[in-house]
Chains A and B, each alone.
Chain A
Amino acid sequence: AQTVTQSQPEMSVQEAETVTLSCTYDTSESDYYLFWYKQPPSRQMILVIRQEAYKQQNATENRFSVNFQKAAKSFSLKISDSQLGDAAMYFCAYRSFGSGYALNFGKGTSLLVTP
């Protein structure tokens, strides 16, 4: 089974600054999908950004971008111009392309944004 590792239990960033959250994964597959989800105190998981493994171009969604290093099996999330509303748990997730439709999540990183 694929494993997803988020090595930073907690991160802190000042408003307007940039922060990078790390994620590594273990897989023998060549095609797969990677996701970052945000979970605020409201508990609802919200999709932040997704990346297809076959695409070399890193995905970008407004202030959120990823650094996808396929050979290193690394998928980090960069948040630019951090806002107070970005404070939440962030989960990295892996989805196998060929078999099954489940998402494998990491343990999450708690992001604190300070004024």
Chain B
Amino acid sequence: DAGVTQSPTHLIKTRGQHVTLRCSPISGHKSVSWYQQVLGQGPQFIFQYYEKEERGRGNFPDRFSARQFPNYSSELNVNALLLGDSALYLCASSPGQSVDYGYTFGSGTRLTVV
């Protein structure tokens, strides 16, 4: 069975540009969450989507947005990129809304803003 897949694995963007990151959850998982992991830090929660609706949002500016599609895949969009947006972006899926049994994480997208 395929795990959580994220694309692209790496990308480099220029300040002010826009970026879209993609995530495909494990088959049968209806919840997708996004985390930002800055170098040397633990992941920080950005969004959770369940059944195509936003169910949770972390302390991130409105430049960050996301959506979930009918097939439960998800996109994370970041507008007006700043140098500080450089990080590893992790996607995680779970069968239901609760994460009591832990997420399954993808390997992340490494975003570098120059």
Contacts and interface: CB of A to CB of B under 8 A. Distances in A.
B86 interface: no
A16 interface: no
Interface string A46-69: 110010100000000000000000
Interface in B83-109: 88, 90, 92, 97-108
Interface residues of A, number: 24
A100 B3 CA distance: 24
Contact of A103 (B88, B99, B101, B107): B99
Interface string A23-60: 00000000001010100001111110010100000000
Contacts of A100: 56
A50 B94 CA distance: 15
B48 A102 contact: yes
Interface in B1-57: 3, 31, 33, 35, 40-45, 48, 55-56
Contacts of A106: 42
| Most chain A CB within a 10 A radius of its CB, from B42, B43, B56, B105 | B42
Interface in B59-114: 88, 90, 92, 97-108, 110
Interface in A87-109: 91, 93, 95, 100-108
Given A44-B105, A44-B108, A91-B43, A101 B88 contact: no
B56 A102 contact: yes
B102 A50 contact: yes
A101 B90 contact: no
B58 to A, nearest CB: 6
Interface of B: 3, 31, 33, 35, 40-45, 48, 55-56, 58, 88, 90, 92, 97-108, 110
